[in-house]
Amino acid sequence: MVIVTHNGKFHADDAWAVAALHILFPEADIVRTRDSAIIDAADFVVDVGGTWDPARGRFDHHQKGFEGARASGVPYASAGLVWREYGARCVAALAAAHAGHQMDADAAQQLAHAIDNDIVQYLDLSDVGAARNAPGGYGMSAVVSGYNPNWMDEQRLGYGLEAEAYRLAQFRKAMAFLTDVMTNAVKYRVGAMLALAQVRQSEAMEDGRLLFLKNAALPWSSVVRKEMPKVLFVLSHSLSEDRYMLHTVPATTDTFDARADLPAPWAGLRDDELAAVTGVPDAKFCHNGRFIAAAKSYGGAYAMAQQALHAVDQGLTPLFDAREARMPLSS
């Protein structure tokens, strides 16, 4: 099997498209050329050749009269054309390989649409000159563009096999980067999907205002915000750091506001200073923004959670007497 794309300078849209195909067909040869005979004989042709025909593996958008666009009106470039046809299969393959999860066709298609909305459409927009995907030089399209040989490379390499080999190697580096982006996007979304049940089944304490998670790495914020209006704080076990974390719950998706902040006297304190304020011997830190704190033990973090809830009940933010703060809270 042969996947062909154009030679010369590459962009994020053709690198993404070839990377996606290569995930599904890892044994395929990648050829960068504008030779019409090689293009005609290829199994897949990306961003060159003047034809959009998915049934024949042709994914170009440069031809006169091309008007391919998403339902939203965002135009297609080669990244979107290939992702539209093979995105769901690519998602399913990555989910199985990197998350150990077998996805059904509908779920894979939904996830592929989400990745198109978050990533792929911006690669297409950048390629067709409609928009930048981030300010300055650090959008993904700009990062991929940086893998191209610069003028010093061109001067050093000149023309010939050595130059073409170097350009192909750089193209493969860009592909590897974008493959990591795809993989991480799939892993994150599959993980979030699988985490829903665990978060929903987690232990609610203190009249439902405190939620305990056995694994701090679970993506909990969205489901707690949407489905658990009573939860003010989340207590979780950080397996990687072997300590317990106390989190505030974001009030909205577009601000830093929390349903309730941690007590003001904790702000910016660490170790002995925080222990002295809270009366919790193994207290470790509280962020100056008062959205996260930690203790070494479950008991220590739970005591801090009780203090935070007590502060909410009192409508105060003074230094707390640890004995008072550990008293049972009323409903």
Per residue in 74-98, pLDDT (tens digit) is 999 999 999 999 999 999 999 999 9
Provide the residue type at 270 as one letter.
Answer: R
pTM summary value:
0.76
Burial of 49 (0-12, 13-18, 19+ CB in 10 A): buried
Spacing of C-alpha 78 from chain mean position: 22
Closest CA to 12 of 169, 177, 183: 177
The predicted pLDDT at position 318 comes to 29
Annotate 102-149 with DSSP letters as a single string.
Answer: PPPHHHHHHHHHHHIIIIIHHHHHHHTTS--SSSTT-SHHHHHHTTS-
Question: CA–CA separation, 37 vs 30, rounded Å?
Answer: 15
Contact 246, 302 (CB under 8 A): no
Question: CA–CA separation, 244 vs 238, rounded Å?
Answer: 6
Burial of 307 (0-12, 13-18, 19+ CB in 10 A): buried
How does pLDDT run along the chain (331 residues), one tens digit per residue?
999 999 999 999 999 999 999 999 999 999 999 999 999 999 999 999 999 999 999 999 999 999 999 999 999 999 999 999 999 999 999 999 999 999 999 999 999 999 999 999 999 999 988 765 555 556 889 899 999 988 888 888 888 888 889 999 999 999 999 999 999 999 999 988 888 889 999 999 999 999 999 999 998 998 999 999 999 999 999 999 999 999 999 988 777 789 999 999 999 999 999 999 999 999 999 999 999 999 999 999 999 999 999 999 987 432 223 333 333 333 3
Per residue in 131-171, pLDDT (tens digit) is 655 555 568 898 999 999 888 888 888 888 888 899 999 99
